[in-house]
Chains A and B, each alone.
Chain A
Amino acid sequence: MGKIKVTIDYKPLEIEEGTTVLHAARQAGIGIPTLCYFQLHDMGIENNPGGCRICVVEIEGRRNLAPACVTVCTDGMVIKTNTIRVLNSRRTVLELILSNHPADCLICAKSGNCELQTLAHRLGVRQIAYQGEQSHFREDRSPSIIRDIDKCIMCRRCEMMCNEVQTVGALSAINRGFDSVVAPAFEQDLIKSPCTYCGQCVAVCPTGALTEIDHTPEILRALADPTKTVVVQTAPAVRVALGEEFGMPVGTIVTGKMAASLRRLGFDYVFDTDFAADLTIMEEGTELLGRISAFLAGDKDVKLPILTSCCPGWVNFLEYNFPNMKDVPSTAKSPQQMFGAIAKTYFADKINVKREDLIVVSVMPCLAKKYECQRDEFKVDNDPDVNYSISTRELAALIKQANISFHELPDEDFDNPLGESSGAAPIFGVTGGVIEAAMRTAYELFTGQKLEKVDFIELRGLEGVRKATIKMGDQDIHIGIANGLGNARKLLEMVNKGEADFHAIEIMACPAGCIGGGGQPLHHGDSSIIKKRAAAIYEEDRNKPIRKSHENSYIIKLYEEFLGKPCNEKAHHLLHTHYFDKSTVIEGTVDVENN
């Protein structure tokens, strides 16, 4: 591509041919405001419908203003981004968008984090000259996500995420004109759609139209109930993002402050999902080795590749889209659910508390976890193993409500016996991490030799689909990794067509893995935030004295005291699950006329 010359706000600039006005301006340090436009740079995610008209600019020689996000620069173009005409037009566009937007900013779940609100502030809108008709759609409350569609501004970011990035196909723009909104087919509720609850629509929604179900009131009630013992577990990706909610630099590791804040909130025991991640490796790693060993011994019926099963968004996706493969994933429950099962048996017995008096709360970077913990197969006598799952954002809200000065907290440790973890556990929070953790243990069990180099660099990275070969002794193990459900689809279609010879595949539903989850602090399209969280996850791993799951002394003790051996009958009963066919089948019925 050649270079061309343009002038933006009297500033001459040389840019690559094909650059849009928006990106050319950014290169010149000029931040043209946008609303519907969305991009996660380097991650292949872009929403560019050119619909909202907030980014209009004046181009010399053109009669009409042009939207910067979809206008490609031409050689010699003279662009002005801040003339009185542009500023007035931009403000009018925004006033029109606001004219039928519910003005409940004071109590909106997105207040303070809303891109529409930020824009109104930035453009100095102090009055709205137009009064538009209000829409009155019913609120849709799924187990994970609330759709308050009166607040939809038709930026269509969620539609792009759901269809292009995740290929889930739960959402589409429907109707026309004033009635147009983004909704599931036939305007049904999300629960009746193929939604996986990955929450990526929530992660990119600029307004309060898509938010998570808020479980903080239930948790405050449980903490205040003297008859209940309340324990909490925190997922690996939470500790590298929670600090952002308190204005700390992105990538700050706040594990110690998080544990301290949970103790001050009144949780009786502050535990760690990382412990359950190590437990997952014991079960999933054993299953992986069992299948590979059987395959190498010539067993033709063994299901390979083994697919990881930690991610509930991915499990939902499999159940809807690849029901023919429902016997292929590892049967190991996710760390969240393994933790719940152990807490309500092994730990409840240890502290002599009845199951119904023990409340298990999880803090997750994820919205699909809310759905997962309510699945029937994870309940005993209608009592869920994990009672409530809250997001990183909800934990931050709880800490703020409880007057806890997060910055000033000391670093504290998790409680035992369910709080100890190896370095293999935190990396569950980033794409490639689960399989790396599994390989650290599988290698030693398979070869009987000590693994000297625990860092499998070849499994790391943020590309959507990755392949790597790991040597275990003389044996080559072929591994596939996908992050984002669209990428998972690509890998699975290769497997379905017999085009791939993987032994194991790791899948995480969210781009970059849990660090980019739907329950994390909002990144507003800044991919550097996700990269810094990934770096922090690996730092957390490096800082651990023990790096392999099977060396975690509390895991060893759990097997000695309670479970016996990995994948034995007791472990299967408590720590393994099965999957369902949730696909839609069109069935022909006999014609009425023929009866």
Chain B
Amino acid sequence: MAYIKLVESSLKTIKDICASFGYRKGDLINVLHKVQGALGYLSAETQEAVAKELGISAATVYGVVSFYSFFTMKPKGNHPISICMGTACYVRGAEKVVNEFKKQLGVEIGETTEDGVFSLTCLRCVGACGLAPVVTVGEKVYGHVVPDGVEGILNEYK
């Protein structure tokens, strides 16, 4: 037998979420969405547990997780930073903002700082194109961000 270990409370969360969807295989994306919301990220062990609960293969679950950029297999930082790379933000200089965040934090897109404080991701349009370029930190939205303003944003969370 191969044993996959998961913290009991996380396992319970996964089981409850799968049960709340009636273990419907077709609700895999919704289940993953909820599980990521509850646990922060989708580890391989978490995906194995979801697969087992829904009676589908781990390969199928991983196929979905690796397809959608919303899903992440890495733990996010305490303050997840997302930079919009949608068309409006992009043409107003989002890439320069991204580069400044990378430089200041010393991480690449999709990574988390070693101290676990910040993680950096890109997303496609938050529906606030009038504020382009847009950055979100957790739930807070920053508009008209320029590279020189990056340090100030980070300092708010240090």
Mark interface residues in B70-84 (1 if CB within 8 Å of A CB, else 0): 000000000000000
Q: Which of B48-56, B103-111, B126-134, B141-149 contacts A (4 or more CB under 8 A)?
A: B48-56
What number of A-B contacts does a CB cutoff of 8 Å give? 88
Q: Which residues of A contact B67 (CB under 8 A)?
A: 173-176, 180
Answer yes or no: A490 CB below 8 A from chain B CBs. no
Q: Is the CB of B6 within 8 A of A184?
A: no
Q: Is the CB of B6 within 8 A of A170?
A: no
Answer yes or no: B30 CB below 8 A from chain A CBs. no
Listed A/B pairs (9) with beta-carbon separation below 8 Å: A174-B59, A175-B67, A184-B59, A186-B58, A582-B1, A584-B48, A585-B3, A587-B5, A591-B7
Given A174-B66, A185-B62, A584-B2, A590 and B8 touching (CB < 8 A)?
A: yes
Distance in angstroms between the alpha carbons of A172 and B51 in the assembled complex? 13
Q: Which residues of B contact A185 (CB under 8 A)?
A: 44, 47-48, 51, 57-59, 61-62
Distance in angstroms between the alpha carbons of A173 and B77 in the assembled complex? 29
Q: Which residues of B contact A172 (CB under 8 A)?
A: 57, 59-60, 62-63
Top 9 closest A-B pairs, CB basis?
A169-B57, A172-B63, A172-B59, A588-B8, A185-B58, A185-B59, A185-B62, A588-B11, A174-B66
Q: Which residues of B contact A193 (CB under 8 A)?
A: 59
CB distance from A155 to the nearest CB of B (A): 16
Chain A contacts with B in 318-338, Cβ cutoff 8 A: 323
Answer yes or no: A345 CB below 8 A from chain B CBs. no
Q: Which residues of A contact B12 (CB under 8 A)?
A: 588
Distance in angstroms between the alpha carbons of A254 and B103 in the assembled complex? 70
CB distance from B148 to the nearest CB of A (A): 34
Q: Is the CB of B60 within 8 A of A163?
A: yes
Q: A175-B66, A185-B61, A585-B1 are in contact. List 7 more A-B contacts (CB 8 A).
A: A174-B63, A174-B67, A176-B66, A585-B3, A586-B52, A587-B4, A588-B6
Q: Which residues of B contact A163 (CB under 8 A)?
A: 57, 60
Distance in angstroms between the alpha carbons of A583 and B60 in the assembled complex? 17
Answer yes or no: A56 CB below 8 A from chain B CBs. no
Answer yes or no: B9 CB below 8 A from chain A CBs. yes
CB distance from B103 to the nearest CB of A (A): 26
Distance in angstroms between the alpha carbons of A414 and B88 in the assembled complex? 77
Q: Is the CB of A169 within 8 A of B56?
A: yes
Query: By CB atoms of chain A within 10 A, which of B3, B51, B60 has the most?
Result: B60
Name which residue of chain B comes closest to A171, CB basis. Answer: B59
Distance in angstroms between the alpha carbons of A174 and B62 in the assembled complex? 7
Answer yes or no: A84 CB below 8 A from chain B CBs. no
Distance in angstroms between the alpha carbons of A592 and B10 in the assembled complex? 11
Name which residue of chain A comes closest to B64, CB basis. Answer: A172
Q: Which residues of A contact B4 (CB under 8 A)?
A: 584-587
Q: Which residues of A contact B61 (CB under 8 A)?
A: 185
Distance in angstroms between the alpha carbons of A183 and B57 in the assembled complex? 12
Q: Is the CB of B8 within 8 A of A589?
A: yes
Mark interface residues in A150-193 (1 if CB within 8 Å of B CB, else 0): 00000000000001000011111111100010011110000001
Name which residue of chain A comes closest to B57, CB basis. Answer: A169
Mark interface residues in B118-157 (1 if CB within 8 Å of A CB, else 0): 0000000000000000000000000000000000000000
Name which residue of chain A comes closest to B9, CB basis. Answer: A591
CB distance from B123 to the nearest CB of A (A): 15
Name which residue of chain B comes closest to A581, CB basis. Answer: B1
Answer yes or no: A194 CB below 8 A from chain B CBs. yes
Distance in angstroms between the alpha carbons of A323 and B44 in the assembled complex? 23
